[in-house]
Amino acid sequence: MKKLLIDALSLLSVKTGIGRYTYEISKRLQCLNDGKYEIFYNYGFYSKELYGSENKSAVNEQRIKRFKLFIDKLPFLKKIIRYLYSLRARFSNESFELYFQPNFIPTKNVKAKKIVCTLHDFSFKLQPHWHPKERLEYFNKNFYLIQRATHIITGSKFTKKEIIDYMQISEDKISVIYHGVDHELYKTYPLKETQKTRDEFLLPKKFLLFVGSIEPRKNLITLLKAYNLLSQEQKSELPLILVGFKGWENKDIMQEIEKNKEHIRYLGFVTDTKLAHIYNLATIFIYPSLYEGFGLPPLEAMACGAPVIVSNVASLPEVCSDAAFYIDPTNIQDIKNKIITLLKDEKLREELSQKGKLQAASFSWDKSASQHLKVFQKVLAK
């Protein structure tokens, strides 16, 4: 039986994009495993237990997550812990046939015959101001380790081209595997099921929804400025609801929300089920991001039947195809006009809703995990 190691440190934090990807692929690899592979997860220690579900009953998992949350607040301690993890791997007797790093940079001292890593985007290189200093230092110091990978996975053709352009890596060493949507969760729900969530968060009859981390790369300041150009009547008809993990460098964003709290509300991070309900209830979903290697929230919103406005940049047109209403994310007037157009045009909203459901249906985590397994098998066969 071949031993596979999956880096799962992202599962110890609030589950944003990379954590979601890691969990969904890992969970399905467990099911696809036909006894040929023994799967381990690296949390700074090796375990066969997969963390990351919404089940809070695992006491050990919760203790480890609380410790991770504590060290994340202290960059100096985080550096020490990373060093200790590396040291532990160096002196460990454990070795693996394949090491999969779903979060960019493979750990230096893991003993593995083959390495596969997922490179999601180049934002740290192209927009370093979008990242905390500690993260940039880590990437700048260790990014070269990706060159050790036997094979690289990425989430879009757009990012594959960036990898070839920036790293001069052979095309046959890179596989594009699209992320998926959990269609058991993100789907259209009967109104009686979503009403509890509407009541819990006091959601209005109509609203404009944004989902994502509250941080610079999501371009929220531009969205807020565009939204403020709407008339008082339009803002009253279509309040703006923000959902997501409070990231970093968001002081200006939070101040802008506070100044306009009559029409703008930040709900914070919500459970997956409640998020699916909120997508269902949204009149319009908007995602004005400046740069994405894939971009999951627009697809999740589409799967729930929400008409989607999305940026016309990076990988987003590749993922959303003709099922979205596109904006120039740097043009405040364009964002404002597209919001008003979609608010007024119920027929267009319905058309986008139907197209969106069809587009989202072609993306699944089952398909994505199967393609990951094929890459692993191909790499191991060499």
Domain co-membership, 266 together with 350: yes
Domain co-membership, 213 together with 87: no
Number of domains composing the chain = 2
Q: Do 226 and 335 form a contact (C-beta atoms < 8 A)?
A: yes
Domain co-membership, 168 together with 216: no
Residue 13: its pLDDT value, please? 78
Domain co-membership, 173 together with 77: yes
User: For 230-239, how does the pLDDT look when each residue is reduced to its tens digit (9 = 90+)?
Assistant: 999 999 999 9
Confidence of residue 93 (pLDDT cuts 50, 70, 90): confident
Residue 255: its pLDDT value, please? 87
- pLDDT of 40 strictly over 90: yes
User: Rounded mean pLDDT of 331-341?
Assistant: 98
- pLDDT of 66 strictly over 90: no
- The phi, psi pair for 364, rounded to 5°, reads -140, 150
Does 186 reside within a domain?
Answer: no
Cα angle: 217, vertex 64, 11; to 5 degrees? 40
Sequential DSSP letters for 123-164? HHHH-GGGS-HHHHHHHHHHGGGGGG-SEEEES-HHHHHHHH
| Calpha distance 201→189 (Å, rounded) | 17
Q: Do 359 and 186 form a contact (C-beta atoms < 8 A)?
A: no
Domain co-membership, 373 together with 350: no
Report which of 244, 185, 187, 233 is spatially closest to residue 206, judged by C-alpha positions: 233
User: Rounded mean pLDDT of 57-78?
Assistant: 52
Domain co-membership, 19 together with 160: yes
Query: Residue 171 has which token pair?
Result: 């095309």
User: Rounded mean pLDDT of 50-67?
Assistant: 59
Q: Do 314 and 293 form a contact (C-beta atoms < 8 A)?
A: yes
Q: Which domain holds residue 206?
A: 191-361
User: For 267-292, how does the pLDDT look when each residue is reduced to its tens digit (9 = 90+)?
Assistant: 999 999 999 999 999 999 999 999 99
Range scoring the smallest mean pLDDT among 59-68, 164-173, 301-310, 345-354: 59-68
User: For 110-164, how does the pLDDT look when each residue is reduced to its tens digit (9 = 90+)?
Assistant: 999 999 999 999 998 888 888 878 888 889 999 999 999 999 999 999 999 999 9
Confidence of residue 86 (pLDDT cuts 50, 70, 90): low
Domain co-membership, 160 together with 223: no
User: For 352-381, how does the pLDDT look when each residue is reduced to its tens digit (9 = 90+)?
Assistant: 999 999 999 999 999 999 999 999 999 999
Give the CATH number for residue 370.
Answer: 3.40.50.2000
- pLDDT of 261 strictly over 60: yes
